[in-house]
A and B are shown apart, each in its own frame.
Chain A
Amino acid sequence: MRTTFINTLTEMARIDDKIMCIIGDTGFSVFEDFEKEFGPRFVNVGIAEQNFVSFGAGLAAMGMKPYIYNVVSFMTLRAAEQIMLDICYQENPVVLVGVGGGFAYATAGPTHHAIQDIAMMTALPNMTVVCPGDPVEMKAVMHISKDYGKPLYIRIGRSVDPVVHQRTIDFQIGQAIRMKEGTQATIFVTGVMLSEAVKAQEILEKRGFSVGLYSMPTVKPIDVEAVLESARAGKAIFTVEEHSVIGGLGDAVGRVLLDNMDKYPVVFRKFGVPDSFAPVTGTRDYLDDLYGLSAGKLADAIEQILG
């Protein structure tokens, strides 16, 4: 997705001379061509996340369209107040691109695990939160971001993530993307877990369960109608994300269900990272499996609930 990000940004920057790319001393071998082509519209602020975020806000306040790119964990936690006060509070249309969402940097350890960022960013008024599930969704959100005109957080995974969507998609911020329809249950998945959720859905289908699948790149504003459509039909609802179970997609979907519990009481279970720091070292696949987020474990857990 990082590759999609820089390629799309480069194309857009050729057309729109207000677009800028700001980095916080990260992205070696990614931005050199952009820097060469656009000169002062590329800025490396250094290892200084506070100034990195506020600098972006100042650029936006004076009419530029800054894309500020940094590692998720450092940007969203170290500079959380700058994001809240200089970007959100003042409605400065900065696009924050966070690389390394979830366990993208798994073996680097908990300092680099980004599993609180969705909670942090969705809590901020005026912020929109999008976690593209694959390069196709990433490209789509990039094109919308240019003239979005509001603070926008885009959470991406690694440099290269698998392409999941084999067809063109109708991508709108705030709308879930229907991938499979099912009569018994619906899985809502966000971000880099998309390919794993697709596999889990396939396993369940083979085992005779009719389970729908929606990619839900936008966590805020949540697609209320997509959730209610499943709830109205009495389907069980599952959420899948590489993020803490506190404050992520699961809670966003859960709030919609809670508000409508009197009308549509449904079975609901969220799959995510429990409230903990990873207890051991491991690759992304290892940690996902440890927390029950691998396709096999997701399918087993959902099968058990559906009986």
Chain B
Amino acid sequence: MYKELISDPAEFARRVRVDVARINCRTRDSHIGGGYSAVDIMAVLYTRILKLNRQNLQDPNRNIFILSKGHIATTMFAVLAHAGIIPYEDLDKHLVNGENYAGHTRRYTVPGIEMSAGSLGHGSCVGCGMAYAKRIQGYKGNVYVLMGDGECNEGSVWESVMFAARFKLSNLVLIVDRNHLQAYGRDEQVLDMGDLEAKFRSFGCDAVTINGHDYEAIQSALERAVSDIPREPLVIVADTIKGRGVSFMEDRLEWHFKSPSEEQLKLALEELGE
């Protein structure tokens, strides 16, 4: 059965967090922390910005959402289920042998997945191509790319940012999930990228830093994108907390990988109001 898309991003995000916790408890294979840091941004995109449904997924004028941090596939699938794009029951197929719902998102196998991801530093580059192709063919709609802050270690991200600024791809919006934790430690300890907003600005972008868990702030930042006039692309550095929404997961490195036990699931669901 397909879910009806609800309009409240807070409730949308809450339901996604609940499903992700349940699924990851079952699969024992998780990137729950990075999913929870990004889900509020995805909730605003799907409830208020993208206007995607099962009927317009092939429309060249549609908005395109590229999940570049493809490891939060569980969260992506739950988002698609609550957006009414995939059947809700399909969430039971995640990581099941012989099914298509893998640990990283794969185009063509699941409706609403615009790009196969899994290796970092690809989404912003492919996004440049899609945004450029939209522009020269006169198609409407923006290309939104969600990437991790650790992902910004990749040189290819900066190749594409230089390119997007040079070609004034204002129909491209890059969103960085700035949760300050990557796979092996704090961003600042691994490779200190410093002031990301300033870096993107110095590469020729319009950049803004917001609270990535404030729905109104997310929405107004996303609405800054103006696709009609060629100008500098928009980069939203969304300050977030890894594991946001469940106290014992918040800002803890191990929840990049860990999956909740039955006991932890119960506590998590309580905190999430289930």
Residues of A within 8 A of B (CB): 40-41, 43, 45-46, 48, 50-51, 53-64, 66, 81-82, 85-86, 89-91
Contact = CB atoms under 8 A, between A and B. Distances in A.
B122 A59 contact: no
The 6 A-B residue pairs whose C-beta atoms are closest, nearest first, are A58-B129, A54-B125, A62-B133, A48-B159, A51-B159, A50-B156
Contact of B60 (A43, A54, A62, A85): A62
A62 B129 contact: yes
Given A54-B122, A54-B160, 9 more contacts: A40-B135, A43-B132, A45-B163, A46-B166, A53-B125, A55-B128, A61-B126, A62-B60, A62-B130
A85 B130 contact: no
A61 B163 contact: no
A64 B162 contact: no
From DSSP, what is the main secondary structure of chain B's interface residues? helix
Interface string B38-65: 0000000000000000000000100000
B93 interface: no
Contact of A46 (B114, B121, B131, B162): B162
Contacts, number: 95
A90 B125 CA distance: 14
A60 B114 CA distance: 13
Interface in B126-147: 126-137, 139
B194 interface: no
29 contacts: A40-B136, A41-B136, A43-B167, A46-B163, A46-B166, A48-B159, A48-B162, A50-B121, A50-B156, A51-B163, A54-B125, A54-B126, A55-B125, A55-B128, A55-B132, A55-B160, A56-B129, A57-B129, A58-B126, A58-B129, A58-B130, A59-B133, A61-B133, A62-B129, A62-B130, A62-B137, A90-B108, A90-B115, A91-B108
A90 B163 contact: no
Interface of B: 60, 107-108, 114-116, 118-119, 121-122, 125-137, 139, 155-156, 159-160, 162-163, 166-167
A51 B125 contact: yes
A64 B133 contact: yes
Given A50-B155, A64-B137, A86-B122, A59 B132 contact: yes
A90 B118 CA distance: 12
Contacts of A63: 60, 133, 137
B22 to A, nearest CB: 30
Contacts of B162: 46, 48
A57 to B, nearest CB: 5
B42 to A, nearest CB: 21
Contacts of A59: 129-130, 132-133
Contacts of A61: 114-115, 126, 129-130, 133
Contacts of A90: 107-108, 115-116
Given A62-B137, A62-B139, A48 B163 contact: yes
Given A50-B125, A64-B137, A85-B122, A55 B163 contact: yes
Given A61-B115, A62-B60, A51 B130 contact: no
A58 B127 contact: yes
Contacts of B131: 58
Contacts of A58: 125-133
A54 B163 contact: no
Contacts of B135: 40
Contacts of B160: 51, 54-55
